[in-house]
Chains A and B, each alone.
Chain A
Amino acid sequence: MSFPGLPRMTGWRPIATILILAGAVAATARFAFGLGATTNLSDAFPWGLWIGFDFLGIGLAASGFTIVAAVNLFHAKEYEPIVRPAILTAFIGYLLVVLVLIIDLGRPDHFWHPMVMWNPKSVMCEISWCLMLYTTVLSLEFAPIILEKFNIHAPIKWIHAISLPLMIFGVLLSTLHQSSFGSLYLIVPNRLHALWYTPLLPVLFFVSCIASGISMVILESLILSRGGRDYLPTPLRANLAKIIAVTLAVYTVVRLQDLLARGALRELTTLTYYSLAFYAELLIGFVIPFALLLVERIRTSRRGLYAASLMVVVGFAFNRMNTAITGLEQYPTQTYFPSLIEVFIMLGITAVGFSAFSFIVKHFPIFEGAAVAPGLHHTAVAAQANPGFLSPDGGDLEPS
């Protein structure tokens, strides 16, 4: 079965196969020999590349909740066609992050402990719960796509019945844990570099994930439209770009104002290991794409939009890796660089994600026609088809 929307990536399959196999070997080594022998993690640097990957995966999967909220809660119905791809991206992203988290745990066999052993004072506990619950929400939002294909309709009805509270719950959970990833670092004021440590970490994490999540949706739509059919019209994509620009501006202002208020701006007056990392992140991910997206010609040009969105995503990656790694390094005495096994596990899992995405896109109706997202679309359609219930007597309207 051929699908016109797929990216033309020659050689992708062998590369993905190699990456997945290498990742599997690396993961086997990690489980057989333990973290010490296979990673560059240490007492001084207990969190490394994998935590950075988790931040990244969750942030880029933020499209799942932003698009669902926009379309089904704020009724921006024109974005309906990207609801399914956004949910799919988020679902895969979250599953991969949960997988990496379990690999990262010293005791993967105890991964279920947070379900029964609670510590409400722990951000990590809150994040575990949000991840578990939101992944469940995503699976329910995603399930109708699979069930439809196999003509199983009863469960779809149940899911539709609870779709409104489900979606609201999903948006709230996302708000919580997107920001909580920032809250993880609130407790290390003495360790995290002043350029990244701020009481506003949760707020900044939340604002930036909105920009990166939407950028991912734009990138996806642009890459997939290479196949010929464009499922997201240019004006709509340009509107999304406007939202990104506003978000980037808000972020940059809040970030700089916070640095000023904490007296950390002077860290930027000299070129150091840290200030360079900061400049890279802020310029690539926020300032330059903001400037680009102000220009209408760029917002409506595929190439321009592609470049700007890519910069947002790359800058976002810089930001998360800087928070998780650079800001905690004691340059030059104590630094961290991931081991090959850490890298291979991450690449392998990323390859699994891309492969799963293209497999599902190929075999399930993700991009096709009027995608009926799990949700209130049904009631809206029903209301249009039979508006009689709106008037109390209904006698005003004759059945056609």
Chain B
Amino acid sequence: MSQKKAMLIDVTLCVGCNACQGACKEENQLPPSDEKYLSLTAFTALSKYNDLYIRRMCQHCDVPTCVSVCPVGALTKMEAGPVAYDGEKCIGCRYCLQACPFHVPKYEWSSTQPRIQKCKFCASRLAQGRPPACAEACPTGATKFGDRDGLLAEAAGRISAEPTKFVPRIYGRDDVGGTSMLYISPVPFEQLGFDARLGKTPLPMLTMSALSKVPNVLSVGGVMLGGIWWITNRRSEVQAFEATEKKNRPSRHEDNP
């Protein structure tokens, strides 16, 4: 049985009260102010499309791109779902910023000891069996916390109960291999600023297709180069030998006529 946690965000229920951001800021001790975009001080933010509000935050992917690209393993995927970050390991290469398909990590550019900042999926609260601060604060149930399998079933149920109200898609179910944040919406997700080109394959697979060839390059390449050296070296040895032979033979004839 899967213990993987998730959040279901029902776009039709969100009224744009921004309580989620307020609770998030309190939980993470960030300066309280309304912010429209993800930033160092806003790990979640609401963006408005016509009458609809969309919550942005780290999607806590099942096969996270950031975790795969981090050279030192500063980013890790926890069993319960959160993608955790260890600033003590981070070397600041910023590959995660470059690679994240959702443009989530934000960098402390003004610091001389910068770290990235992003939603933590309230990992410490999850460990205590409590829901994330934002889900707890949501007054309308637009953000609901629970087991991922259960929430997927619930989302499917809501869509089939009111097929005219929702587009038949749960965003995050298989997008980039599945995420911990699941969305259902009354309009196509492209109209809500979601990237429609991401596909279902986890992005780290694209890298693996190249990286998996490394052992082959090393072993086959090593043997091949060694072989080439052996052949060419042998050839020049033989040439050198034949050259000396030619030089020596006539001189011997002269010595013994």
Contact = CB atoms under 8 A, between A and B. Distances in A.
Interface in B21-73: 65, 67-73
Interface string B234-252: 0111101101100010001
A379 B103 CA distance: 57
A106 B92 contact: yes
Interface stretch (A27-35, A90-98, A279-287, A347-355): A27-35
B218 interface: yes
B71 A114 contact: yes
Contacts of B68: 119, 121-122, 187
A285 B156 CA distance: 54
Contacts of B101: 190
B137 interface: no
Contacts, number: 191
B89 A126 contact: no
Given A124-B93, A190-B101, 12 more contacts: A33-B112, A36-B110, A43-B105, A75-B229, A75-B233, A105-B91, A106-B94, A119-B70, A122-B207, A123-B210, A189-B203, A383-B241
Given A122-B71, A176-B217, A384-B240, A46 B94 contact: yes
Q: Which 6 A-B pairs rank lowest in CB-CB distance, beginning with the nearest? A: A106-B92, A36-B109, A75-B232, A124-B71, A46-B94, A125-B71
A342 to B, nearest CB: 13
B208 A121 contact: yes
A171 B225 contact: yes
Interface in B196-245: 197-198, 203-204, 206-211, 214, 217-218, 221-222, 225-226, 228-229, 232-233, 235-238, 240-241, 243-244
Given A41-B109, A43-B107, A376-B233, A107 B90 contact: yes
A379 B204 CA distance: 46
B191 to A, nearest CB: 18
Interface in B86-127: 89-95, 97-99, 101, 103, 105-114
B204 A121 contact: yes
B197 to A, nearest CB: 5
B114 A35 contact: yes
B238 to A, nearest CB: 8
A188 B90 contact: no
Given A126-B214, A199-B209, A398 B248 contact: yes
Interface residues of A, number: 69
B195 interface: yes
Contacts of A212: none
Contact of A46 (B73, B107, B209, B244): B107
B114 A397 contact: no
Contacts of B235: 75
A258 to B, nearest CB: 15
A36 to B, nearest CB: 3
Contacts of B248: 397-398
A172 B109 contact: no
B205 to A, nearest CB: 9
Given A31-B112, A75-B235, A123 B207 contact: yes
A366 to B, nearest CB: 24
7 contacts: A34-B111, A36-B110, A75-B236, A106-B107, A110-B72, A187-B204, A380-B233
B225 A168 contact: yes
Given A188-B99, A189-B203, A380-B236, A180 B210 contact: yes
Interface string A36-49: 11000111101100
Contact of A107 (B114, B197, B203, B221): B114
Contacts of B226: 164, 168
A41 B108 CA distance: 11
Contacts of B91: 105-107, 110-111, 113-114
Residue in B67, B92, B106, B110 with the greatest tally of chain A CB atoms within 10 Å:
B92
B241 A387 contact: yes
A111 B92 CA distance: 9
Contacts of A106: 90-94, 107, 114
A180 B252 CA distance: 59
Contact of B89 (A104, A117, A125, A397): A117
A128 B237 CA distance: 39
Given A124-B93, A187-B69, A73 B237 contact: no
Contact of B92 (A75, A110, A123, A183): A110
Contacts of B208: 121
B241 A188 contact: no
Given A117-B73, A123-B210, A172-B221, A34 B99 contact: no
Contacts of A74: 228-229, 232
A186 interface: yes
Nearest to A105: B92
Contacts of A123: 69, 207, 210-211
Contacts of B236: 75, 77, 380, 383
A59 interface: no
B179 to A, nearest CB: 15
A186 B110 CA distance: 29
A35 B113 CA distance: 10
A292 interface: no
A281 B69 CA distance: 28
A286 to B, nearest CB: 23
B73 A119 contact: yes
A187 B103 CA distance: 13
Interface in A134-186: 164, 168-169, 171-172, 175-176, 179-180, 183-184, 186
A73 B107 contact: no
A120 B65 CA distance: 14
B65 A187 contact: yes
A167 to B, nearest CB: 8
